Structure 1
Amino acid sequence: MHARFLSAPSPASAAPSPYVRLAFTGARPRRACWKPRGPASASAPPPRPLHSLCARASMQPASPAHDGHGGPPVHGVSNTVIGVLGGGQLGKMLCHAASQMGIRIVILDPLPGCPASSVCDEHVIGSFNDEDTVREFAKRCGVLTVEIEHVDVTTLEKLEKQGVDCEPNASTIMIIQDKYRQKKHFSRCEIPLPDFMEVDTLRSIEEAGEKFGYPLMVKSKRLAYDGRGNAVAKNKEELPSVVASLGGFERGLYVERWTPFVKELSVIVARSRDNSTVCYPVVETVHKENICHVVEAPADVSNKIKKLATSVAEKAIKSLEGAGVFAVELFLTEDDQVCFGLSTYFFKIYSSCSGVYIIILVLFFL
């Protein structure tokens, strides 16, 4: 994935910016930096310090480092152990952030060489979908969380009833891991959505096509991400083959009205236990073959659109329960409306500043 961090647009009448925008490419996104231009004239203002530019991109107040190494402030060691179900890339970033704050992270993942295994305090090898394994794992943790939503929610519900602190709550993970349930939840909360309906027979999906028109977006309720579990029927004749490609009606399917859009936007929202939220700048995500390929931050849209996208994202996350960091994905339509067109993914963080977001998450837990 590539990351482009862009300086804020300036009025046409203003002096040229003393900074050159750089696009970073490679296997992993890296923190943005700016290369200063030479002054256009003797009266041109000197380049601003780099930390002030980074602060604008991350919405953190510009301040000098407190640990002497250019990083965030170092906090005292916490007695709380955070247990994480899953040890993927997001778990690894969480471990990096927590280590700077003296917070212990224990992960549960079946793969001995999972990404987070090299940086966590302890790696328990086991399945995060096995009830007995998760129960034993929870005994050593002060807080239990996840870095992937595809976990056994039933087990988490039982643990919550026994007093285990699960963040976000099992009810939230249940909503997020089922896209149709998610759509119904946000529809009740009056979040703008494309029209959708459940389909379980060939006749019902044909009726959906008659109602919504073609092309028609057909989706799996569960395990649908990065382009998997989605298919487009261009006409009625393609419906049987599209359904078969998704595993049949028994897998659990629903359809959405096709939504033309001009940009895909994303807003990172951090939510605390008391339902207070922090929203980070709106970014644009550019996809290639259904995979996020480029992130441009901040998004090149008007302030009106940024406020609207932030408002929709914040309203959606405030309807959930428990602390966590969420990415809300949105469609920007031709008439400048923001539509909750994609799914909300727990911990799906695209920006190379992910460590900042994870630090917020850890603070909310303690």
Structure 2
Amino acid sequence: MRVGIFGGGQLAQMLVQAAISLGVEIVICERVPDSPAARYTQHTVVGPWEDEAVLAAFARRCDVVTLENEFIDAHLLRRVEELGTPVWPSPATVAVVQDKLWQKERLVVAGLAVPPFRAVDGPDDVLAAAQAFGWPLVLKTRRNGYDGYGNATLRGPADVVPAWERLTRGGSPLLVEAWVPFTRELAVMVARRRDGTTAVYPVVETVQQNHICHVVYAPAAIAPDTAITATELAVAAIQAVDGVGIFGVELFALADGHVLINELAPRPHNSGHYTIEACATSQFEQHLRAVLGWPLGATTMRAPAAVMVNLLGQRNAPINTDAIVAALDVPGAHMHFYGKRDERVGRKMGHVTALGATLRDAEAIARRAAGLVAMPV
């Protein structure tokens, strides 16, 4: 059985690692030859995804195709299907999710709670939205935004034009959302098979700085009713987009107990990395099970608590290959280094996960190890 993956970054790399245990071969399709995932499989197709010959060669080598990010245009995924290879999540699902406006419109039609939003075609539309929503606002690219690339917080009229000019350089249309006065940012990983069977992981809390995830606490220290609401919203959201595979659902918890959906990701997600060590089935193995139509695995945690800390680049330079050596001396710290050739400020270079009897215990271990890495957080 061969699963093809569009993209060769760290998410694809960790999918390769999970595939080995299942006896599944992975084919990586990437634009460049030296990707982190491609180094761990003998099956690669290199070239522009828009090239018909590349798509045909990739489709021929795979039994099923999936993706590690939502940046590949849905019409290219449809072309792979036309060539006879199934794609999960489906091109129709990806088309909805990869456009944040369409994504939110679909969730609203399903009756699910999201922040107020609207499409905007120019700075004047943003100012009009401010009349309806108030300041601050969040201006977003509808496509291809991640880790803060594609977002801008607008605190007043003077911020509108500079943010508009910056965000439209990539060519994506924009949308604007009301600022949500959340008390916590939550996330839920949901796996869904083609027959609608789902497996749901615990609700976690994510700590973001500059729109980049720094720390994940599993499970989130929230009221049981809030956890139930977040879980039900997450499952309903994936059903609404007819998702197949693993999906990350980002949510906002409000002071009054309400929960809003922020965004969906149709792939393994940073907030689910803790599952590799902390859960009976990792998000990566679960994704492979789901897209292959195999039974989904248990999502129970192996310890009462787990904390994941991202290792983010602190400079722009070639990577220090010995960066994690000192951290390996910390008992209970599980290190993951992604094998990227170059460090960049804010770039996700790896992560460390620790398990414990409490979140405080797990966090102490994870932060101690992260502090010994050559790019301390």
Q: TM-score range by the shorter chain?
A: 0.7 to 0.9
Q: 1:352 aligns with which of 266, 269, 274?
A: 274
Cα 1:96–1:142, aligned 2, differ >3 Å: closer, same or farther? same
Answer whether contact 1:128 1:152 (CA < 8 A) is retained.
Answer: no
Number of residue pairs matched by the alignment: 287
Q: 1:337 aligns with which of 258, 278, 290?
A: 258
Answer whether contact 1:156 1:170 (CA < 8 A) is retained.
Answer: yes
Shift of 1:322: 4.9
The farther-off stretch of 317-326 and 81-90 is: 317-326
Cα 1:237–1:363, aligned 2, differ >3 Å: closer, same or farther? closer
Secondary structure of the corresponding residue to residue 262 of structure 1? strand
- For 1:53, the equivalent position in structure 2 comes to none
- For 2:8, the equivalent position in structure 1 comes to 87
1:245-284 to structure 2, matched below 5 A, reads 245-247=166-168, 251-284=172-205
CA distance in 1, matches of 2:160, 2:166: 10
CA distance in 2, matches of 1:287, 1:138: 37
Shift of 1:225: 1.3
Answer whether contact 2:248 2:268 (CA < 8 A) is retained.
Answer: yes
Answer whether contact 2:206 2:213 (CA < 8 A) is retained.
Answer: yes
Letter in 1 for 2:132: K
Letter in 2 for 1:265: L
Secondary structure of the corresponding residue to residue 246 of structure 1? helix
Shift of 1:275: 1.4
1:59-74 to structure 2, matched below 5 A, reads none
Cα 1:187–1:289, aligned 2, differ >3 Å: closer, same or farther? same
Shift of 1:162: 4.6
Answer whether contact 1:277 1:318 (CA < 8 A) is retained.
Answer: no
Q: Percent identity?
A: 36
Answer whether contact 2:205 2:220 (CA < 8 A) is retained.
Answer: yes
CA distance in 1, matches of 2:20, 2:169: 45
- For 1:75, the equivalent position in structure 2 comes to none
TM-score by length of 1: 0.74
- For 1:319, the equivalent position in structure 2 comes to 240
Q: Deviations over 1:158-178 (max 9, x none)?
A: 332454211110011111211
Q: Which has the higher strand share?
A: 2
- For 1:47, the equivalent position in structure 2 comes to none
CA distance in 1, matches of 2:243, 2:176: 29
Shift of 1:204: 1.9
- RMSD after superposition: 1.8
> Relative contact order (alpha carbons < 8 A, sep ≥ 6): 1 or 2 greater?
1
Letter in 2 for 1:105: I
- For 1:135, the equivalent position in structure 2 comes to 56
Answer whether contact 2:15 2:285 (CA < 8 A) is retained.
Answer: yes
- For 1:107, the equivalent position in structure 2 comes to 28
1:295-314 to structure 2, matched below 5 A, reads 295-314=216-235
- For 2:165, the equivalent position in structure 1 comes to 244
The farther-off stretch of 194-203 and 153-162 is: 153-162
Letter in 2 for 1:150: F
- For 1:206, the equivalent position in structure 2 comes to 127
Letter in 2 for 1:191: L
Answer whether contact 1:198 1:254 (CA < 8 A) is retained.
Answer: yes
Answer whether contact 1:268 1:325 (CA < 8 A) is retained.
Answer: yes
- For 2:41, the equivalent position in structure 1 comes to 120
Answer whether contact 2:168 2:174 (CA < 8 A) is retained.
Answer: no
Structure 1: any 5+ residue segments left out of the alignment? 1-79
CA distance in 1, matches of 2:170, 2:15: 37
Cα 1:291–1:249, aligned 2, differ >3 Å: closer, same or farther? closer
Answer whether contact 2:31 2:47 (CA < 8 A) is retained.
Answer: yes
- For 1:217, the equivalent position in structure 2 comes to 138
Whether 1:152 aligns to 2:73 is: yes
Q: Deviations over 1:6-59 (max 9, x none)?
A: xxxxxxxxxxxxxxxxxxxxxxxxxxxxxxxxxxxxxxxxxxxxxxxxxxxxxx
Secondary structure of the corresponding residue to residue 118 of structure 1? helix
Q: 2:88 aligns with which of 141, 154, 167?
A: 167
Shift of 1:238: 2.7
Whether 1:96 aligns to 2:96 is: no
Shift of 1:249: 10
Secondary structure of the corresponding residue to residue 37 of structure 2? helix
CA distance in 2, matches of 1:110, 1:158: 17
Letter in 2 for 1:296: Y
Answer whether contact 2:141 2:173 (CA < 8 A) is retained.
Answer: yes
Letter in 2 for 1:358: F
Q: Deviations over 1:108-156 (max 9, x none)?
A: 1123221112222412222334343112210111101111111132122
The farther-off stretch of 283-292 and 335-344 is: 335-344
Shift of 1:97: 0.9
Q: Deviations over 1:270-302 (max 9, x none)?
A: 110111110001111111232111111110001
Shift of 1:345: 4.8
- For 1:363, the equivalent position in structure 2 comes to 289
